[in-house]
A and B are shown apart, each in its own frame.
Chain A
Amino acid sequence: MHAIQIVLLCFAVFAFSRVLIRYRRGGMRMLHLGLWFIFWTCVVVVALLPDTTSLLARWLGVGRGVDTAMYLSILMVFYLIFRSFAKIEDLDRQLTRVVRANALREMEEDQRISAVERLKSAEKN
């Protein structure tokens, strides 16, 4: 076994253990757990049996197996970056909604308090 295979294997096991921990804590849906399981299993298979990528490469019409793996990895990375970006945008909007609701509630409370104070001082006079 080559060193790169050991490194990939260890990394895949480590990465999937993180996924499992997140899932157990309730921070992940079953579907995502499944998808990550498939992904890291593929990584392990490719690391241990590099020839499988050649099969895939022939089927896809790409020259070498390693190239296919690279293309697919890049696609995957782009997709994940896009997903994170969309998620951050979403969180950004939600945070704004919370901050806005809070700001407007405070404004209305201040208005009520000053109205009551005006009434009280008018009564005194």
Chain B
Amino acid sequence: MPKRIIVIPAYNEERTIADVVREAVKFAEQVIVVDDGSRDRSGELAREAGALVVRHAVNRGVGAALGTGIEAAIRMGADAVVTMDADGQHLAVDAGKVFDRLAQGDVEFVIGSRMKKSDDSGHMPAHRVLFNTIGNVLTFMLFGVWVTDSQSGLRGLSHKAARTIELRTNGMESLSEFLKEMKDKHWRMAEVPIKAIYTDYSMSKGQNFFVGVKVALKLIFRRFIG
């Protein structure tokens, strides 16, 4: 049985983390929560819910937390890694779908796309659709990769991809950096339709306009300078 590990970056998510972990453990052999310097009880609650908790001493951003989580997963012997959000936006059953797609063995990278239509995909609020489209276009212009949901936090990496990925950015911009890595390292990619749950809580945690502008600037910097 291949070892499947779910990685969840979490920063001050005590309201949702325990439920997310309890659901996630049903679809993976191990769940790793990266407590990204939370000031609340996120880490403690994740551990109680059955996750292995890796703790950043100070907050470093979602990209840095993902990098740490993926590295931890490889050290724990993962054959496949799926990342998901801690705010309850993703369904663990969709993480299972991403693992299944990876298990087919013909791709190294899978994106759970909120934009790809399926019968039960949730309704994405209009301004989120707009942000996502801007994110997709920017990702395409900078890195030459077109996907339907470049900002999705639900992603799968094969063992090979997880072992070789190098994320240099720390924040949200790392979501696009995954795609740069995919292109540079010639990973084959597939998209799987997923359902996103939009609650007031997850909406308050997501990207707003100013975060979006910052992310865009950092991506441009990453593309052209370092």
* Residues of chain A at the chain B interface (Cβ within 8 Å): 85-86, 89-90, 92-93, 95-96, 99-100, 102-104, 106-108
In the bound complex, do residue A96 and residue B64 qualify as a contact, i.e. CB atoms below 8 Å apart? yes
B28 interfacial contact with A, CB 8 Å:
no
Q: Which residues of A contact B67 (CB under 8 A)?
A: 96, 100
**Nearest residue in A to B167 (C-beta to C-beta)?**
A96
Q: How far is the CA of A122 from the CA of B75 in the complex (A)?
A: 25
Pick from A85, A93, A107: contact of B168, CB under 8 Å: A93
In the bound complex, do residue A99 and residue B56 qualify as a contact, i.e. CB atoms below 8 Å apart? yes
Q: In terms of DSSP, what is the predominant structure of the interface of chain A? A: helix
Q: Which residues of A contact B221 (CB under 8 A)?
A: 85, 89
> How many of B's residues come within 8 Å of A, CB to CB?
19
Q: How far is the CA of A86 from the CA of B221 in the complex (A)?
A: 9
Nearest-neighbour CB distance to chain A for B50, whole angstroms, equals 14
**Nearest residue in B to A89 (C-beta to C-beta)?**
B226
In the bound complex, do residue A99 and residue B58 qualify as a contact, i.e. CB atoms below 8 Å apart? yes
Q: Which residues of B contact A96 (CB under 8 A)?
A: 60, 64, 67, 170
Q: Are A99 and B60 CB-contacts (below 8 A) given A89-B226, A93-B168?
A: yes
Pick from B68, B225, B226: contact of A103, CB under 8 Å: B68
Q: Are A104 and B71 CB-contacts (below 8 A) given A92-B170, A93-B168, A93-B170?
A: yes
Selected A-B contacts with CB under 8 Å, 5 pairs: A96-B64, A99-B68, A104-B71, A104-B75, A107-B54
**Nearest residue in B to A96 (C-beta to C-beta)?**
B64
B57 interfacial contact with A, CB 8 Å:
yes
B80 interfacial contact with A, CB 8 Å:
no
B52 interfacial contact with A, CB 8 Å:
yes
Chain B 34-70, CB-CB to A under 8 Å as 1, else 0, gives 1000000000000000001011111010001001100
In the bound complex, do residue B225 and residue A86 qualify as a contact, i.e. CB atoms below 8 Å apart? yes
Q: Which residues of A contact B226 (CB under 8 A)?
A: 86, 89-90
In the bound complex, do residue B57 and residue A99 qualify as a contact, i.e. CB atoms below 8 Å apart? yes
Nearest-neighbour CB distance to chain A for B70, whole angstroms, equals 10
Q: How far is the CA of A106 from the CA of B34 in the complex (A)?
A: 12
In the bound complex, do residue A95 and residue B54 qualify as a contact, i.e. CB atoms below 8 Å apart? no
**Nearest residue in A to B171 (C-beta to C-beta)?**
A92
In the bound complex, do residue B170 and residue A107 qualify as a contact, i.e. CB atoms below 8 Å apart? no
Q: Are A104 and B72 CB-contacts (below 8 A) given A96-B60, A96-B170?
A: yes
Q: Which residues of A contact B54 (CB under 8 A)?
A: 103-104, 106-107
In the bound complex, do residue A100 and residue B168 qualify as a contact, i.e. CB atoms below 8 Å apart? no
Q: How far is the CA of A95 from the CA of B170 in the complex (A)?
A: 10
Chain B 151-193, CB-CB to A under 8 Å as 1, else 0, gives 0000000000000000010100000000000000000000000
